[in-house]
Chain A
């Protein structure tokens, strides 16, 4: 497919020179801007405090002392923070799927009365930026209306708000809408209940979109900072982002950097494995309307 520059122009000698220059500049520039800071972080952690402070800095660490990673792990209780974060992200994932899949299925296929209104209300939640709702949400988590439970310092404070995600409901509903009616009607004639239809027909064919929602929900919770900062004030309960940030002032620089590396590994690994899904989720997100 042709783009801005015509293939003909590229085949001229001048076109080739320009093309390769641009290519090299882009590759080098991107590597410098986006990979180099990460390289600096990983190697920086290996340097001793003296080497870190030295001017000019050394490009490669003199020693490969992985001890600092072990120190970071112990001193910062990274094990505890990581375990917490896994618990929060995993639980949020299960809740998100349970709540949003059923909600989207109900809206798309069961077509309840007022369904349009409910969908509208869910989409309206997308319009309201999370930051401005921070304080009222905090109050809700502190004292849940009707049941009067205090969710602070419990995983529920992360799980429940994470599940109430209008965007995921919308994504799922749009996918469910595209499943042919005949398929579901056939199952209904065979006597399958709506729950059974959801489980045995809708879910298996929706695997791609459920994958996207799963990854997005886990990554979102993993990366979140402000909300866990508010609702999980106990050091023992902190997520990894909050934990590192709150202990950062007391740590030697190289230990802190090592813990940054450890904290970013999981999301980077997820990105390596699932980049296709993540990027398709991204474009789906931009084109919502």
Chain B
């Protein structure tokens, strides 16, 4: 018993210790007060990074939040090819993100890339996807959405399947049309899951790193610098760990707000 307790307690303590160290390790070495924050604030990329991160999250929400829900509603109605569709929609999630991102880098290629070729077929002039300040961020959102769509779709699908059928039946008897039924039955019944996913998505998309790292390097002209990417740059390209940590801390504060709301909502969901 003692032996086992030792074996199981030690890793737990380690985990706790680790998690505390991670939190408190903001400023290693000499204490410089708010110096790091001042450095970071003065960086022209700083505001660009926050704006881009917010824009990325916002766009990812608009596309990546509504689309999976619609897909799930449609999938839930279909009686054929269900297994195939579920499998296929989750396929990109299983790809290593680095593979997916590099694959899209090739698709975005301004010359022979698949996307411009496809546009050419319908006689639309080629876009410069990653190389222009106006399309670069959107291009990142597209990759990210493609990669992660499956998760949301399958989670919504599971939630939809738990809606009791007689709710739809009585709504229909009351004369509710298709859209009304979606509005007054489907959405209220899945409200908590929708909210949980919204918060999860915000937290996930605000940490975006791999897309700008592999696709654009933050360019062109800081159009795709995100907070997480800037943090990485500070620590590993500029050798300024303090500045990077200051950014990390700011990001953490913002995300903790969403996480806390998430915790509350998901607790409500669990109690239901």
Chain A residues in contact with chain B, CB under 8 A? 1-6, 19, 22-23, 26-27, 30-31, 33-35, 37-38, 40-41, 44, 52-57, 99, 102-103, 105-106, 110, 112, 118, 121-122, 124-125, 127-140, 145, 161, 163-164, 166, 193-195, 198, 219, 222-223, 225-226, 230, 240-242, 244-245, 248, 253, 256-257, 260, 263-264, 267-268, 270-271, 275, 278-279, 282-283, 286-289
Contact = CB atoms under 8 A, between A and B. Distances in A.
Contact of B106 (A34, A44, A289): A44
Q: Which 9 A-B pairs have the closest CB atoms?
A: A289-B270, A136-B25, A131-B207, A241-B98, A2-B165, A106-B8, A132-B252, A102-B8, A289-B266
Given A27-B85, A271-B91, A135 B231 contact: yes
B78 A166 contact: no
A106 B231 contact: no
Tell me the interface secondary structure of chain A in the complex. helix
Contact of A279 (B16, B86, B262): B86
Interface stretch (B42-50, B54-62, B131-139, B150-158): B150-158
A24 to B, nearest CB: 10
Contact of B8 (A1, A105, A128, A286): A105
Contact of B15 (A129, A164, A230, A268): A164
B219 interface: no
Interface residues of B, number: 107
16 contacts: A4-B178, A6-B168, A27-B81, A33-B146, A106-B12, A127-B259, A129-B255, A132-B252, A133-B22, A134-B232, A145-B21, A164-B11, A164-B18, A242-B98, A287-B269, A288-B266
B116 to A, nearest CB: 9
A268 B91 contact: yes
Nearest to A118: B12
A2 to B, nearest CB: 4
A253 B3 CA distance: 56
Given A4-B77, A131-B209, A264-B96, 5 more contacts: A55-B117, A102-B4, A125-B19, A195-B3, A275-B87
A118 B13 CA distance: 8
A283 B154 contact: yes
B4 A34 contact: no
Interface of B: 1, 3-5, 7-9, 11-12, 14-19, 21-26, 28, 73-78, 80-81, 84-92, 94-99, 102-103, 106-107, 111-112, 114, 117, 120-121, 146, 150-151, 154-155, 158, 160-161, 163, 165-166, 168-169, 172, 178, 181-182, 185-186, 193, 196-197, 203-204, 206-207, 209-210, 214, 228, 231-232, 235-236, 241, 244-245, 248-249, 251-252, 255-256, 259-260, 262-263, 266-267, 269-271
B16 A118 contact: yes
B155 A286 contact: yes
A136 B206 CA distance: 19
A105 B236 CA distance: 40
Contact of B22 (A27, A140, A271): A140
Contacts, number: 272
Contacts of B102: 244-245, 248, 256, 260
A264 B91 CA distance: 11
Mostly helix, strand, loop or mixed at chain B's interface? helix
Contacts of A37: 92, 103, 107, 114, 146
Contact of B168 (A4, A166, A225, A257): A4
B252 A4 contact: no
A241 B97 contact: yes
Contact of B75 (A26, A41, A106): A26
Contacts of B90: 271, 275, 278-279
